Amino acid sequence: MPREGRFMSEEHQNIDPDLLLRPDKPIHLVGIGGVSMRALARMLQDMGAAVRGSDRDESVYTRQLCETGIPVFIGHSGENVAGAGLIIRTAAIPDSNPEIAAARAANIPVLSRAEAWGMIMKRYSRVVCVAGTHGKTSTTAMIATFTEAAALDPTVMVGGDLRSIGGTLRIGHSDLFVAEACEYQNSFLSFCPSVAVILNIDKDHVDFFKDTDDIILSFRKYALLTPENGLVVVNGDDEKSLRAVEGIPRRVVTFGMGEACDIHPENVALQDGCYRCDVIAFGKLWCCLKLSVPGKHNLVNALAAAAVASELGVSSEAFAKGIRAYSGVGRRFEFVKEWRGARVYDDYAHHPNEIEATLKAAKDLAPQRVICVFQPHTYSRTVSFLKEFAEALKHADKAILCPIYAARETNTWGISSKDIAKQIPGGEAVEDFAHAAKRLEELVRPGDMVLTMGAGNINHLASFLK
């Protein structure tokens, strides 16, 4: 049976969920081209709603939406919301946006993207939400892969392109919903998980959270969204994650590399650059696991997925087969091309711990050298992690820094990529992608690995490598 959500903001608690389904009153999505928003648009369309939206710029994604019958306005204007019955916006859209202002003036209800997803989740009896500072996209994709392989027919919402589901959304026909859950602006507190996964908790989103304790409190509230008979899956090796669930009146299962964790590995070894191990669950051998993606962090992600599989009643054989079939998700150590005898990969890592984990995974594949081209994401994060970025990038044989990707910010700090580069032996900062490509032409030798890295548009660099 569908379950009641409990953490929708007071402003929106009285919004009729049927507004998501009324074909006579269009739902207008502001920022419809974003990863989660375009998935939401398709989901609402499948549910029978009339959907339209707007975005600042035209893109391949807005064109795809138009091809599926979802009209998209390019540019934001108050006129765009005329006749809409409900407005849904991304976290990046402020109240000052002309469409939001026009909706308020016309008394059209306005929901956040997360609140809309939360309302949809109430229609499912089993909802697996995957949260954490790092690894949530990859782990959600792993769970999507093995649940689909096990014929559970899940509905999936993931923050990256997963080839096996054809993008960021899979619409299933069972009672199972698998969703990535982001902590930024407390978005995941609008969700209603029956299984809440906490992969790790780290200092991040310093433009929103006051401090680390504030982040831990947010994850604690997320864990308490589970019903009394629900489950919280938590990283038993991570002190902050354990603090978040300490004493909560919920069933808790731990995973991790340590033997004290309910689910942990034994006989860990590298094979062809990827990890294999025996998975021990509650003191007994559960399965023999072989990953097809590199990195110890992905082994830990797979252990979290194993806890979810056990809860969903998936057999150990089906789980192991599904994880073996998982080949990664877009922009997560994604192979791009062969170039001048080197292999070029792209990765979304934008936090120091993610950078270090990805560079270590790269070294497991034994290239001659790892040349990392990093684009810092936001000025506030760069200021907060300046020293940590430099230390993480030292794991590359050569680090090239592109200009900071501003996203929603202005540079009030006077920070630049040069401030990172000068702390790295041999590090250098370049003016733009064209100059980065020129340096790669001068540096790259056969057998090297080139790794473009960051959460902005650094993936476009590959098009400069002719």
Catalytic machinery residues: 136-137, 180
Closest of 248, 180, 242 to residue 216, by C-alpha: 242
Tokens of 352: 């120091």
Contacts 24+ apart (CB under 8 A), 56-59: 56/31, 57/33, 59/33
CA separation, residue 366 to residues 273, 327, 342, 447 (Å): 8, 19, 12, 9
**What gap in Å lies between CA 182 and CA 112, rounded to an integer?**
13
What's the CA gap between 2 and 147, in Å, rounded?
A: 20
Measure CA 261 to chain center. Answer: 25
Q: What are phi and psi of 182, to 5 degrees?
A: -95, 140
266: which residues sit within 8 A by CB, 6+ positions away? Answer: 277, 278, 280
> Using CA atoms, how far apart are residues 51 and 28, in angstroms rounded to an integer?
6
- Asked if 445 and 342 count as a contact pair (C-beta separation under 8 A), the reply is yes
